[in-house]
Chain A
Amino acid sequence: MTITGALTVLWFALAPFLWPIAVGVVLLVAVQGLAHLRGYRILGYRCLAANLAAIAVGLSGLWWIPLFTHSRLAYVASVFDWIALVGALIGLTAVTWLLLHPLSYLLQGKSPRYA
């Protein structure tokens, strides 16, 4: 399959989910922007709870991502299966962290651990 063909199919696959994706992006940008306006810096603020929560959400994908695709973890078998699943888990963890980390800053205010 050509790159053009793959991108076209990807576009058709994502098209029905554009609104949820757009809402998610707006939410992420809003939380990040608001936190930055109040002094949040991504590398300067530490929050163990947000880190652990992001990891927990990411790991939860081991259960619900296969389930979401009408499958189960036992069927994640080939090398590429694991590359795809681990990639999805890392992405899920990263997005969750990018949301929860500034959110915790907004909820807690300036933390004692803020450097």
Chain B
Amino acid sequence: MKLLDNEYAKNFDFIIFFTVIIISFIGIINLYGSLSVNHKDFFDPYVIKQIIWLMIAYFLMFAIISIDYNTLIEVAYYIYGFIFILIIAVLLKGRITHGASRWISLGMLSFQPSEFMKIGLVFALVKYLTSYENRNCYSVKELIIPLIIILLPALLIAKEPDLGTALIVFFVGIIIIYFAGIKKSAILILTGIALFLGPVLWFHLKSYQKSRILIFLHPAKDYLGAGYNIIQSEVAVGAGRLFGDGFGNGSQSTLNFLPAKHTDFIFSTFSQQFGFFGGMVLIALYFILIIRGFQIVYQTKKLQGFLLGAGALSILALHTIINIYMTIGLLPVVGVPLPFFSYGGTSIIVDMSAVAILLNIKMRRYKFQGA
């Protein structure tokens, strides 16, 4: 306990900590319930792996909160640079899964470096934006370097192609810049550029990405093709009705009608089993987690912590909103995980890191530590 001395431990946020524990616990139960009818096994590899990843993530969380976030900001560029190189490595020599090269395989474990870029970007941006004095209203010219820091990885990730992660990276970056402060003229110019680039980007999307967006607008048009995911997901959610079909009875997932039932569509799996009632409980937990996060960021007295917290919080909020919106047909299908709920080690680590950052800044909000 040398690392966590009492003064910090006093400010440890138990609300966030226990909310995360409850969510991940429900997540494990839900994962059990989603197993295929002919593969029901207590030691299911999906569930076991998920538990292992969660345990790793909790250790990581304690590791992160034991280090002053300022120290982490100091080494931000190294983190950012390292992840950037990994992304390029993936692009050059990635394992092909589902037509996308996102993974780096290290023996038993494989992970997606692009996911880590969400965290890496937050640190790098905060370091850059706080390394100059008295800047809280940036002009376009001053924003060129931050924009490069955001767009370079975002575009590379989009090229993998992993549109979901690229969009999260992009939006998290924009939110941090917004918090840091932008001149009104800069807002106008950047919006103009974005409007101009929109169509250009559209033509660079992969055809399946385009069709996902088009299908989102008219899901019934292509019932068995690209619209299939959305429709099956809505069916699963709707079929839950008020109290759900019960644990393990979500036919949409146990009979494999739902694609990506462990990852992107985990919420649909949950909804068919536990219904509107269960959904409300889960959403309430996420709401507590994120509103508590807002509170922590709001109370943070140091700009570094403030921006860092805003970045971490936006990762969690965007993940939650985009993932659930996607499963109920309010957004096109893009690969975004539901924090602590979707199966997958990388996303657990990323979301846990974000939570750790929030805990970290809360614990150190009164302590003005010299460099």
Physical interaction between A and B:
no
- Chain A residues at the B interface, C-beta cutoff of 8 Å: none
Interface residues of B (CB under 8 A from A): none
